[in-house]
Structure 1
Amino acid sequence: MKLVIFGLTVSSSWGNGHATLWRGLIRALAGRGAQVVFFERDVPYYARHRDLPALPQGELVLYADWADVAERARAETASADAVMVTSYCPDGRAAARLATEHGRRSVFYDMDTPVTLARLAAGETVDYLPAEGLGGFDLVLSYTGGEALIRLEHDLGARRALPLYGHVDPNHHRPGAPDPRYACDLSYLGTYAADRQPAVNALFAEPARLRPRQRFLLGGSGYDDAFPWSSNIYFLDHVAPPEHAAFFASSRLTLNVTRRDMAQMGYCPSGRLFEAAACGCPILTDTWEGLDLFFEPGREILTATDTQGALAALDLDPGDLAAIARAARARTLDEHTSDHRAAELLRMLEASPAPPRDLEEA
């Protein structure tokens, strides 16, 4: 199968969660015989932080302007078995027209569904969505399940909405020797988000203030002097994907905090959950509906809603933390790898009808 993707970015992991997911999924798709061509607009902020200039298992097409690549895009679409447009694609509307009018199978993959729906509810223009909604696509996929799927069909006219959840590539995320650079009692890896900050304060910053003899490690872009820093919080403004395994393997415990809109909708596992689990690191997370679909709270993952809950997790016996980490890693390898998601995606594409379209016109 040949899959053409018009997305946000695969070449830079800076400040976004899309790139790492695509790298693992594309590698797994290639392992199953699929050919992938990924179109990405070459924007300055990703160019400055590009950590994957070429796709080893696919083809990356970087372009400065849609007009410069339109002819190439039409040619790739004409020869593809499926054409996918993702949320936050800078040229989403132009790519959607191409996919729905000329693609053999057209797919929209919303990797930010709760954010998309919240923006629409607030009356904002979401420029990566077609103005007429999602009814023109043969299949709509969502990074978030549950109510999000109903809303995509009811509010945006999707004919068929299915989940394609996060995942991890265990070839790149696995247990390893601790690295002194990342050694800590509690780590948190995530870019700054205003809606996430109250939970980060309660579950990370406040425990750090109350436990001055313990070491806390924060990795991610966008943090400034307004963050409630303590002398025992150590900061890295970017942790590149090749360093994620060492980051998690060196943490006694790591924290996951979910964006507000995603947590309210539920069924929204971050890729960081699966990365940390695959690296054998015990996880503390905020709670949301559907969490138990992916990990069993108390046995495979720890949860907290306030500072006291986070402190209780930090006080657990090392043996108990190790048992939770082992159980989470086993669950992840059994159900949540990039290869599992690649197999799901290929099954969904093969089962999706391919209505006749005028490919010659493309």
Structure 2
Amino acid sequence: MKIAFYGSSLLSSYWNGAATYYRGLLRSLSALGYEVTFYEPDVYDRQKNRDIDPPDWARVIVYPPTEEALSKVIAEAALADIVVKASGVGFADEELFLRLPQAARVEALKVFWDVDAPATLGEVQSSDDHPMRRHLDLYDLVLTYGGGDPVVEAYREIGARECIPIYNALDPETHHPVEPDPRFAADLAFLGNRLPDREARVGAFFLEPALNLPEARFLLGGSGWQDKPLPPNVRLLGHVPTRDHNALNVTPKAVLNISRDSMARNGFSPATRVFEAAGAGACLITDAWEGIEQFLKPDEEVLVARDGRDVAEILSRLTIDSARSIGRRALARVLKDHTYEQRARQADLIFRAWRMHGLQKSRKGAVA
């Protein structure tokens, strides 16, 4: 089956947290026999900051942010068996949302794939006239990369025919144990872009422990932090390309995951960083959120902190040996239960079931 996937970027992780998810899932779907074409706009300097070459498992179409180019790539939806509009494309999102299902063939499966459901639903719930409230029925199915029951129920309330989470996972070919790199030597590292609904939590869970542990070494990676006042024991890395993620995860004694406000409230929203760190065999400390035990076992495969004081306490008593032991158990768990190969098989079953339903429906319509 042919998939036309309209997303932010497959080739660049620059200001694009969904890149790892797209790559792992679509490569695994390709291995199952799907023909994937990924359409991404040339915006936000992503093409200047590519961190992979165009892969052999997907055809990538990069288009300029113009109406002419947009119309051309939308028209190509008619060639696909499955048409996917992802959230947060970054250019003409509303137009893509409305026009793609209309451009697709009647029997094609139309999917809205939300890679940031808490943020999307926050926008919808704050606007009675949001296009999604009026036109979500253009899509056969909503898939999300997290959110659990709260997100599923919220999507059904605004008109989704069905909503199914397909969670983030590990791509072992990309994220795996490597030798430590002296560039990333530290006691604790955090990697995440500076975003409005994360910044206060970064202050509480990362910068506050840095202030309280002046002898410890902290690393802050991600875009947007260059003008943020930092404690003297925090070293700023800036954007860290995907090729350096493994070394950044395995070299410090521990790495930190900090959910954005909306994701923490919804729960069941493990970030890609959770699986990247576990896949590299890192000792992960995460902020507390509902559902963590579905993915990693607290105290054995992951350490859970309720606030910055917990982070500082955990870091003070964490030894190198115990950190490595937690990392080994986390790696074993994600390889067993949380790979993109497993997520792709889940998506494959969903696609085949819904495609069969759509074909039967179109045949009945033709007979009538």
User: TM-score, structure 1 length as denominator?
Assistant: 0.92
Distance in 2, matches of 1:37 and 1:162, equals: 22
Distance in 2, matches of 1:183 and 1:124, equals: 49
The structure that is helix-richer by fraction is 2
- Name 1:269's counterpart in structure 2: 270
Distance in 2, matches of 1:131 and 1:160, equals: 14
Alignment of 1:243 with 2:217, yes or no, is no
- Name 1:360's counterpart in structure 2: none
- Name 2:333's counterpart in structure 1: 331
User: C-alpha displacement at 1:267, in angstroms?
Assistant: 0.8
Distance in 2, matches of 1:71 and 1:195, equals: 35
Select 1:147's aligned residue among 143, 150, 164: 150
- Name 2:253's counterpart in structure 1: 252
Cα separation, partners in 2 of 1:344 and 1:66, compared to 1, 3 Å: farther
User: C-alpha displacement at 1:72, in angstroms?
Assistant: 4.6
Tell me, yes or no, if the aligned pair for 1:253 and 1:281 is still in contact at 8 Å. yes
Tell me, yes or no, if the aligned pair for 1:141 and 1:164 is still in contact at 8 Å. yes
User: C-alpha displacement at 1:98, in angstroms?
Assistant: 4.2
SS at match of 1:149: helix
Moved more, 318-327 or 333-342: 318-327
**Could you tell me which amino acid in structure 1 is paired with residue 123 of structure 2?**
R
- Name 2:5's counterpart in structure 1: 5
**Could you tell me which amino acid in structure 2 is paired with residue 91 of structure 1?**
A
Aligned length: 352
- Name 2:29's counterpart in structure 1: 29
- Name 2:217's counterpart in structure 1: 215
What stretches of structure 2 of length at least 5 have no aligned partner?
364-368
What stretches of structure 1 of length at least 5 have no aligned partner?
358-362
Distance in 2, matches of 1:338 and 1:93, equals: 29
SS at match of 1:311: helix
Where does structure 1 differ by over 4 angstroms across 4 or more consecutive aligned residues? none
SS at match of 1:39: strand
**Could you tell me which amino acid in structure 2 is paired with residue 259 of structure 1?**
R
Tell me, yes or no, if the aligned pair for 1:6 and 1:92 is still in contact at 8 Å. no
Task: Map 1:98-247 to 2 at 5 A.
Answer: 98-101=99-102, 102-103=104-105, 104-123=108-127, 130=132, 132-144=134-146, 145-154=148-157, 156-227=158-229, 229-247=230-248
Cα deviation code 1:256-313 (max 9, x no counterpart): 0001011101110001000000000011011111111111111111111122211222
Distance in 1, matches of 2:126 and 2:73, equals: 36
User: C-alpha displacement at 1:318, in angstroms?
Assistant: 2.5
Distance in 2, matches of 1:44 and 1:326, equals: 37
Distance in 2, matches of 1:96 and 1:193, equals: 24
User: C-alpha displacement at 1:323, in angstroms?
Assistant: 2.1
**Could you tell me which amino acid in structure 2 is paired with residue 35 of structure 1?**
E
Q: Report the identity percentage.
A: 35
- Name 1:312's counterpart in structure 2: 313
User: C-alpha displacement at 1:24, in angstroms?
Assistant: 1.6
- Name 2:362's counterpart in structure 1: 356
User: TM-score, structure 2 length as denominator?
Assistant: 0.90
- Name 1:52's counterpart in structure 2: 52
Cα deviation code 1:314-350 (max 9, x no counterpart): 1223332222211111111112111111111111111
